[in-house]
Structure 1
Amino acid sequence: MTPAHQHPPQQGKSPHHRDHGLGGHPEHDDAGQAEILDLDAEVLAEHLASLTAWLPLRNAPGRIVDLGCGTGAGTFALLDRFPEARVTAVDTSAGHLRLLREKARARGVEERVRTVRADLDTHPWPALGTPDLVWASASMHHLAHPDRALAAVHELLAPGGLFAVVELAGFPRFLPPDAPGGRPGLEERAHAATDRFHAEHVPHRGADWGPMLTAAGFAVEGERTLTVRVEGDRDPAIARYAHGSLRRIRGVAAPALSPEDLAALDALLDPDGPHSVLRRADLAVRTERSVWAARRA
């Protein structure tokens, strides 16, 4: 449920992996992206479970498709929520799908998971069955032609089936406003730089999916924004999550930052330095996730 995406200007092709706004593309950074996805899933598991529990389903789905599954956060949350269901997990990254299959074996649910490698900006889509529920978390905004994908999902779903679109209403923040010492507000300035980048290269990021879903023939039955705050002392993984996220933000923000800001950011990212984010005791994950639930009539 991600995911600041630091992707280069190649958005004409669809990544279709769940990046939660936290990473580069699997074509050139599978390992780093997978680490961020796994940390996101670990730290925000409780919030993801609340989203799956909120879905306005008429019956427990037996067949689910996870579009842009990444390393499987949504897939496994859905398998936990619906113990009789089977999930078809779709992603463009072979590495992410391999990790997902390894996790499925380790959890003893490999017979309930099928993986499909596909770019959803291509046509036609591979055979994905006739699902009762389609889940797309932090993937739809990457599409070059989201209207086509929404129409494809509408055709794919079983009559009365539900489509859940989960997107980031805000990218995660970790530092207090007065941090770091000497350069307060650094994190917000770095995010502002990535926002300008994404406004050009990821135009559907932050979109209101309700009207687009309606235009594609869906009936939007619910919308919810979940405010997330997890204090750093609750989970030691938060420091690693912050470090990995800020490291990836640097890749896009660096050209727009002042030399002083860049030096302060590098000090936060130095794992052995005295100012490393890994050593801070005042971190908290702060973000928002929005979800739209839309039904095929």
Structure 2
Amino acid sequence: MSDSPMKSHVFSVLDEPYCVWEHPEDNNNLEFLNGIDPAYFSFIAERMRSAEASVDDDRRAATALRSAYHHALETFFSLAGALVQAPTCVYGWLEQCETKSLRTLVEQISENRFNSLSVVQGAPVTWETISAVVHSRMDVSEAERARVVSGFADLWGRSARLFLRRENIDEYNSVKHGFRVQAGGFQLSMDVADNEQVEARTTKFDLGGSKYGSSYLRIERVGGTAKSNRSFTPRRHYLNWSAEQTSLLLFLLSASIGNVVAFLKLLNGGGDQINSTCPTDDEFQAPWDHTVGVFRMDLARQIPDWAVSVTTKQDLHAHLATLGLKRHSGE
């Protein structure tokens, strides 16, 4: 490929190799990076909170805030993955990296078992080593650099756990695919009787809750767990979260994205100095000071396996045929 008059970028998404060709005078990667606005997410965090909003508008704003948070997580981890595997062709790596592959990459980095091709040399690929690379050109003392590296590495590790959590994935999919969610959290408490008598005095235990959160429906197999079984039943899932925590995390993710983009620009000829954002220790810690107690719950009518029929693809095609449904050629 070195004999070609065109410029090529060869990279992997996990272990899948790709090659992007471009004119030798072009720097599409830098142009792409210059188009990223990391401050977008901090802008959303600032604009979506208002003490003067009505109850309904407050919930709508909280949902928009939560959606932006999920979006920021996906954006940051995508850029981090591109930094690790294709820093000279970020736009190409992002185009070829599917969501499933991105989650695999984040999980492997978090568990210190990433062994795909990487530009990070001399150390295992962890959030600590990635943060050390991103903040290696900061014009600060070594002590300050170590503090910032550690702070962001901890943030990214915690954020990775949230990014990979099943209920957060389902919530994000429900929000972005037609807003199939109901806004608002829930409170959970339990009354415990002092003894077994009918009129016994009870003590109420508050298990926590939040006015902010979401609920959404998922369908789950019923009648058997085999993949060939196409019978499902709905289950409603409830999530609680802190709008304040979400807002604070958005600011930190905005800074994270900005620092990664600044370093990538430097690698691609976009400058000779990095002006990284350096949150204080209190700012790194602030989001985790906001808790909601119980954060998830799911409810569904219990349907025993014997009450439904196990169905297969062939069964359902046959049933649809009895309804008179026909295929259309589109002509």
| TM range, smaller chain | under 0.3
* TM-score w.r.t. length of structure 2: 0.23
Higher strand proportion, which one? Answer: 1
* Higher normalized contact order (CA 8 Å, seq sep 6+, divided by chain length): 1
Q: Which has the larger radius of gyration?
A: 2
